[in-house]
Chains A and B, each alone.
Chain A
Amino acid sequence: MSERVAVRKTYKLFIGGKFPRSESGRSYLVQSSNVSLASRKDARDAVVAARAAVKGWAGATAYNRGQILYRAAEMLEGRREQFVALGIPGDEVDAAVDRWVWYAGWADKLAQVYGGANPVAGPYFNISAPEPTGVVAVVAPERPALLGLVSVIAPAIVTGNTVVVAASPSEPLAAVTLAEVLATSDLPGGVVNILTGAITETAPALAAHMDVNAIDLTGVTDASLATELEVKAAENLKRVLRPAPAGHDWSGDPGVTRMTALLETKTVWHPKGV
């Protein structure tokens, strides 16, 4: 009896809930797999998909978003071995699952912690509430490949933003596999879009894109590239999260700042009268 020939996976981009190849037709080799090498046009398509998803995702109830993030944790738990096979340590996968769970619970709590009633000196009802900023471009950290990725995606989307993630060029397999997790988690298409390939190609396009509201430079290690991206981001005054310091500990309590940095505060006034 001959040994079964395995069916190999094709690693493609994740845009608008689908897995297209790069429109450029290019790929590059990582761990013996051909991975799509995303172009600037792919970045543009991803932004269009992300923008289209904002209305539904930001408009979903917080409870619903929390359910979907929790669902992502469930799906990731079930695919633990796939990540281990890619070389991700088992406890990192566990930590990544736990991080989805942690952020899932924030969905319907952050507005209470970060917003509230303001006691203005007059006959007005006045309340401040956080809202998602919109489309967020994210440069994912290289390591830890899975936990780092989850740690930048989850805080961005839990509040209702949609993301276009430039995955680490050296760790695209975990990113695409995570995309498969998300594709089966009831997450609406376009909420998370993942580009594999060269950061130097996709990130500048995202930083300069006028329909992107914020950029998270966490994974940018080249200081001059980070500066270049921040300068480009200034063109439409994107909210900017600067690169994480070298050696950032991803295993600790993430705190709320990764969420709040990608929020707007809206304050509504109304007179009180009869």
Chain B
Amino acid sequence: MFEYAPAPESRSVVDLKPSYGLFIDGAFVDPTDGGSFKSINPASEEVLAEIAEAGAQDVERAVRAARTAYDKVWGPMPGRDRAKYLYRIARLIQERSRELAVLESLDNGKPIRESRDVDLPLVAAHFFYYAGWADKLEHAGFGPNPRPIGVAAQVIPWNFPLLMLAWKIAPALAAGNTVVLKPAETTPLTALLFAEICQQADLPAGVVNIVTGAGDTGRALVEHPGVDKVAFTGSTEVGRAIARSVAGTSKKLTLELGGKAANIVFDDAPIDQAVEGIVNGIFFNQGHVCCAGSRLLVQENVADRVLESLKRRMAQLRVGDPLDKNTDVGAINSAAQLERIRELSDAGSAEGAERWSPPCELPEQGFWFAPTIFTGVTQAHRIAREEIFGPVLSVLTFRTPAEAVEKANNTPYGLSAGIWTDKGSRILWMADRLRAGVVWANTFNKFDPTSPFGGYKESGYGREGGRHGLEGYLNV
């Protein structure tokens, strides 16, 4: 046997403060009512820091600061100078990427391999990409003189804390808006470190404001009348509530919500790569991915073979300490999320699907869930319909391409889909018919700042990334 010795990434690059204030108008300030909450390491339940909770008055302060910065500094600033601030931020992120990656893994529970090799490179790339747009907006296809919208309220989820921040802040600032961003209550730390980076970059005060807190803070922010634009990434349920709350206002809204993607494997697929794609599709980031390939649709005549390979591959997944460089699957982000994953998985068993996990020892402290697949699932099962947002894969079979399309589209969601086949014309035929904003053919869970991302149907509207990503932040 070849046992890998522990290979922990050092925590010493991160200098955690015992408590963090709100970042408003360029400075860290105490919340008006002094409320706070704790951010914990989901892998150990250790308290990482005490975080200020922004109340309505704090949100008011932040929106006012953003408005002033928009009117006086950022709005009038030439695009080329906005660009240089964004380039500066991109560089600082690269320079401090190890620190950010370790902090992300501590606060979120995701493996350091992913925060180091996926999240952070994409974060920096996103700022670089949009930096270049800041002085070229008139060439972006939105008319000769596209104008920013004003103050953007941005609420982001806990699954890719810093990457979602980048997806929100980079295009907003490039287009000339100022922002008030609320990170998720379980993962505020990298956003607060990002605030420090804004200070280090000498970004003018008020251009970026970070208000920490939970649902109430988010609601106060998106419902604030001084906000011109609302961008939200998170659950469809909250997205719906936000869509209702902006009804009748002039606020522009973009939403990136849930998903229940089908990953479709045909009998002529490159099987070994398909298995990698299935694993990456559902176990990447513990399955805390809105575009996760959570429904495997496999052609019936290769189902046994694919499942056998998949199980063998799953047995190689290393579950455990997120800071160990060899960990593949880290901790579930919170007790609440773990509870939801358990509840839906139990429902899967109760409804008669067959459950399988590789033998794997889970740590005693922290929140953990073994990589799991359910076979014998039908479209009627809850685990085939509801977003689990965890490392749980539902396996269904199909016989013909048309049946695969029908099953894939048979959901209120429409964020992403995967196709695995060696036949080019079939890929294009399928891609045309799948109602999803991103279609990965012979690959899965790939992201790039130039590539628009976003959903059909109840997965939300608007696109993030690419030229399309500017549209949500311009007055067009």
Contacts and interface: CB of A to CB of B under 8 A. Distances in A.
Interface of A: 113-114, 116, 118-122, 124, 126, 128, 133, 213, 223-224, 226-227, 230-231, 233-237, 239, 242, 255, 257, 260, 264-271
A237 B466 contact: no
Nearest to A225: B248
A114 B141 CA distance: 8
B294 to A, nearest CB: 18
A11 B274 CA distance: 58
Contacts of A224: 248
Contact of A121 (B257, B440, B448): B448
B28 interface: no
A231 B247 contact: yes
15 contacts: A118-B448, A118-B450, A121-B450, A126-B448, A223-B248, A224-B248, A230-B247, A230-B248, A237-B458, A260-B471, A265-B454, A266-B456, A269-B440, A270-B441, A271-B443
Contact of A231 (B236, B244, B431, B442): B244
B468 A236 contact: no
B125 interface: yes
A206 to B, nearest CB: 15
B451 A118 contact: yes
Interface of B: 125, 141, 143, 236, 239-241, 243-244, 247-248, 250, 255, 257, 412, 414, 427, 431, 436-443, 446, 448, 450-454, 456-458, 460-461, 463, 466-468, 471, 476
B247 A268 contact: no
A271 B273 CA distance: 11
A237 B236 contact: yes
A237 B451 contact: no
A170 to B, nearest CB: 24
B451 A267 contact: yes
Contact of B446 (A124, A227, A265): A124
A29 to B, nearest CB: 33
A266 B439 contact: yes
Contacts of B471: 260
B456 A126 contact: no
A122 B247 contact: no
A120 B448 contact: yes
Contact of A269 (B243, B250, B439): B439
A237 B448 contact: no
A235 B431 contact: no
Contacts of B451: 118, 120, 126, 128, 267, 269
B240 A235 contact: yes
Q: Which of A230, A236, A266 has the most CB of B within 10 A?
A: A266
Nearest to B129: A121
A76 B387 CA distance: 49
Contacts of B436: 266
A264 B141 CA distance: 17
Given A128-B466, A227-B248, A267-B452, A236 B439 contact: no
B240 A237 contact: yes
B218 to A, nearest CB: 16
A242 B252 CA distance: 10
A126 B467 CA distance: 14
Contacts of B446: 120, 122, 124, 269
Contact of A257 (B255, B442, B476): B476
A271 B143 CA distance: 34
Per CB-CB distance, the 10 closest pairs between chain A and chain B, nearest first, are A227-B248, A230-B247, A234-B243, A120-B448, A118-B450, A234-B244, A270-B441, A231-B247, A118-B451, A268-B439
A269 B441 contact: yes
A269 B463 CA distance: 16
Contacts of A113: 141
B247 A227 contact: yes
Given A223-B248, A265-B454, A270-B443, 14 more contacts: A116-B467, A124-B446, A213-B457, A227-B247, A230-B244, A234-B244, A234-B247, A255-B143, A265-B452, A267-B466, A268-B431, A268-B440, A268-B441, A271-B442
Contacts of A128: 451-452, 466, 468
